[in-house]
Copies of this chain bind each other. A is one copy, B any other.
């Protein structure tokens, strides 16, 4: 079901156990893959949350840079998994999961944006939705094209610039007398 070559037997082998054991912990192949996917996405979300927490009260440019940096680092720290799981999500009812985790990420993002020292936002929800999802496409592209590290870094910096410029433009200057 779904991704080619991701048979239960193969997954079990790679995990160092037997199929039977897998089925002692997961009712479905779907549940198994969903769990793997969730773990991966949780890692990414937590990295982003961590970056948000550590940059409360900073300028939007600092926040942008930290967020993008954290996101890219998390995605590329296990690039193989990221690549493989890309195809897994749709085949696993991952939509619900992805939606849930995206929302969780946005909560923290809203918070940190609200705390920014130089800007205030009124459409916070939409802004944070756009910020968090805009990173997905470029990074996924880099992953599937097996881009070189220098390319990744270039793109990462451009993403920082893009998010930063966006937040500067869409936010109102905070009055700090």
Tell yes or no: A99 within 8 A of B by CB: yes
Tell yes or no: A123 within 8 A of B by CB: yes
Interface size class of A (residues with CB under 8 A): 35 or more
Q: Are A159 and B145 in contact (CB under 8 A)?
A: no
1-59 of chain A: CB within 8 A of chain B: 1-4
* Nearest neighbor of A151 in chain B, beta-carbon distance: B126
> Which residues of B sit under 8 angstroms from A165, Cβ to Cβ?
162, 165-166, 168-170
Q: Which of A1, A98, A154, A166 has the most CB of B within 10 A?
A: A166
Which A residues are closer than 8 A to B by beta carbons? 1-4, 86-87, 90-91, 95, 98-99, 102, 123, 126-127, 129-130, 133-138, 140-141, 144-145, 154-155, 158-159, 161-166, 168-170
